[in-house]
Structure 1
Amino acid sequence: MGGCTKIDKIPGEMLLSSLNRLKYLDLSNCNIGEGVIRDYIGCLSSLVELILSGNNFVSLPSGIRFLSKLEQLILEGCERLEQLPDLPPFRSTFLHVSVNNCTSLTRLSDPSRLSGGANVYDFDFTCLNCFKLVEDEGWINRIFAMILRAYFLVFTLGNKYFLLNDIVYPGSEIPKWFSNRSVGDSITVELPLPPQPRSDWVGIALCVVFHDSEYLDNPDALDEYEYFYIQSSLKDVNGCEWFGIGSLESEHLWVFFLLRDHPSLTDASSSQRVSFET
């Protein structure tokens, strides 16, 4: 249904309830305004991917929190969107939220409600060019705190599920609690390995600041490509984020976390070198 610009009403609760096996719903660029999407969207209990990019709503209904199987929530380019509703609580799956170029976004859902389940899943969040959001200095700390709580829960429960959490957001200042720093495209991390059963370290966090193509020595070399990417290389791990050329208005940061039981850390020596490339 993506691109259907005359949608002014979403089917009612009774009809949506009959679509409880629907897994993918694309309503991107449908000119959907405020109030068109109602709370009963939560009836789509099997929904895995919900794409609402390029629409005109200011907020989303709280019923989204009932989409317990949701793995992808894509809201890119919703320029009037001001806040996110509470997202589905952690179950046993992965959740990627993208609000890239939602330039009016000033408020997220309550991060404390994201860790409401006994099992914790991968969570990553990208908010390219959401400059109003980062004006709230405490928002990223709340996200970090949520992820750390998730890690401690997995750690204390002895869960061997290997988390890899990503956050991409505007900024150029690496948080102060990153004590090991390097200028360039790589860094060596000293690890207290092998991890002992009673060791008190939970995992590692890495952060990289990257620029748009205008800061490159030869930005014209990228003009013929639609996308460029920033990628981390770690033993047995390849994390990758893709961004459209010209889509970044200033510096951004990429932060990701690895639990100490991840194979790339348990199989490593006393140090691990992480490199980044575009």
Structure 2
Amino acid sequence: MKKLLSTPDFHGLPCLQKLTLFCCYELEEIHPSLEKLTSLEYLKVSDCPKLRMFPTIVHMENLKKLGIEACCLEDGEIPSGIGELSNLKELNLSWNDFSKLSFSLSQLTRLKVLNLLGCKKLLELPKLPSNLAILLADGCNSLTTVGDCHQNCKWLCQVSLRGGGIINDGGRLLQSMLEGKAVENGPMLLRLPGVEVAKAFTPHLLVGSRCRLQLPENWCNDFGGFLMCAIFTHKLYGSDCVWIRMNEATSDTNAQDDVVWEESVRDKYRSTWVWYISFGSLRHTTWWDQTHKALLLNIEKSRCTSFGIRLIGKKSRSGLTGISIDSSSDYTSKFKIEHDSKSSLTISLTAYAQGLY
């Protein structure tokens, strides 16, 4: 359909549930009857660079997944009716040319995924709806701050801002995610350009892909999980999986060769990954043993240049009652056990990728 200039009239398709317009390079107009497709649950318009005006979609109350991507849409050209789609769960506006959204997302209480990948002119993130779990904004070159967009989000488990401008307040975002509800029993992943968060991480990161963690007495009851931080080369940009091997550190484990990481000029071309793994997600493994005194951790199969880890204390659950949530595992960072034995545990953490994304 590369030569399609205009879509046909949709009036004869009142029960249509899924519509995809892909690589219609000459498409200039979508017929206004699109708004009559109130049964639509999935709508994707992708790689239609000549499309300038989008019909109203405010009446699509059944729409769950919406993608308007790589259409070069500028400010004011994204349909404002998106803010009225109360059942929307996934929204993909990636690879467009707007600098801001002219409508609010706060009413989208069921929205779980927001994809703004490659929106190079985006100056600020919109205020995020309270139940959002996953924010993807890699390659947003003009973005330098997360602001207060996440202030009311208690369910963020994955945020990715790689490959864009240096984010100067990533530490505040990290703290907010750690204080949220999503980390109770599942993994959390934050990916940022540069090393601003890594510089503030304590204890200091070590050079290389290995680090050692000394465990205090009664660690498994007094703390809630592991927080790990690593710096990767940008060559990892196309990869969404990191493997971590955890072994009990024996008394003869040599820690004298460990070198504390110090920032260098080349680090500005790298990215920081921070992830949290709760004890609750590890207790069922053969490896789990509360008598462990120290751990030796290695990042495998990735270009990791620096690595660090610390324990995170259990947090209060006050103030989180009464919030509804779709607990579907489709909207979490992925965590898979690759090897499990009494002496060693290998896990892989995978970024979100499904459906429209």
Provide the TM-score with structure 1 as the length reference: 0.71
1:5 matches 2:5: no
Match of 1:129 in 2: 163
Match of 2:66 in 1: 25
1:250 matches 2:276: no
1:175 matches 2:199: yes
Distance 1:20 1:190, change over 3 A: farther
Once the two structures are TM-superposed, the CA of residue 99 in structure 1 deviates from its matched residue by 1.3
Match of 1:210 in 2: 232
Match of 1:166 in 2: 189
* Structure having the higher Rg: 2
Which letter maps to 1:178?
A: T
**2:97 and 2:71 mapped to 1: Cα distance?**
9
Moved more, 186-195 or 28-37: 186-195
Taking the TM superposition and a 5 Å limit, the aligned residue runs for 1:171-250 are 171-172=194-195, 174-179=198-203, 181-192=205-216, 193=218, 195-196=220-221, 199=222, 201-213=223-235, 227-233=238-244, 250=269
1:147 matches 2:177: yes
8 Å contact 1:190–1:271 — kept in the other structure? yes
Which letter maps to 1:170?
A: P
Once the two structures are TM-superposed, the CA of residue 74 in structure 1 deviates from its matched residue by 1.4
Once the two structures are TM-superposed, the CA of residue 231 in structure 1 deviates from its matched residue by 0.5
Identity %: 23
Taking the TM superposition and a 5 Å limit, the aligned residue runs for 1:101-112 are 101-111=139-149
**1:229 and 1:113 mapped to 2: Cα distance?**
26
Once the two structures are TM-superposed, the CA of residue 262 in structure 1 deviates from its matched residue by 3.1
| Residue aligned with 2:135, SS | strand
| Residue aligned with 1:261, SS | helix
8 Å contact 1:45–1:66 — kept in the other structure? yes
Q: Specify every segment of 5 or more residues in structure 2 that has no aligned partner in the other structure, as ranges.
A: 1-44, 247-266, 303-357
**1:58 and 1:231 mapped to 2: Cα distance?**
32
Once the two structures are TM-superposed, the CA of residue 6 in structure 1 deviates from its matched residue by 3.2
Deviations 1:135-189 (A, max 9, x none): x3xx112102212322xxx5xxxx9941321111122462334216432222233
**1:88 and 1:46 mapped to 2: Cα distance?**
13
Deviations 1:111-140 (A, max 9, x none): 55233xxxx434211112222x42x3xx11
8 Å contact 1:194–1:270 — kept in the other structure? no
1:263 matches 2:282: yes
Once the two structures are TM-superposed, the CA of residue 276 in structure 1 deviates from its matched residue by 1.5
Once the two structures are TM-superposed, the CA of residue 209 in structure 1 deviates from its matched residue by 0.7
| Residue aligned with 1:114, SS | coil
8 Å contact 1:172–1:252 — kept in the other structure? yes
Q: How many residue pairs end up in the alignment?
A: 231
| Residue aligned with 1:16, SS | coil
8 Å contact 1:81–1:105 — kept in the other structure? yes
1:16 matches 2:58: yes
Distance 1:72 1:105, change over 3 A: same
Once the two structures are TM-superposed, the CA of residue 84 in structure 1 deviates from its matched residue by 0.8
Deviations 1:12-63 (A, max 9, x none): 3xx423x122121111111211012254312222222211111110101342
**2:55 and 2:147 mapped to 1: Cα distance?**
26
Q: Specify every segment of 5 or more residues in structure 1 that has no aligned partner in the other structure, as ranges.
A: 214-221, 236-247
Distance 1:194 1:178, change over 3 A: closer
**1:110 and 1:38 mapped to 2: Cα distance?**
24
Distance 1:271 1:16, change over 3 A: farther
8 Å contact 1:180–1:189 — kept in the other structure? no
Distance 1:66 1:251, change over 3 A: same
RMSD: 3.1
Provide the TM-score with structure 2 as the length reference: 0.57
**1:35 and 1:24 mapped to 2: Cα distance?**
21
8 Å contact 1:85–1:108 — kept in the other structure? no
| Residue aligned with 1:255, SS | strand
8 Å contact 2:205–2:230 — kept in the other structure? no
Q: Which runs of 4+ in 1 moved over 6 A?
A: none
Normalized per residue, the structure richer in helix is 1
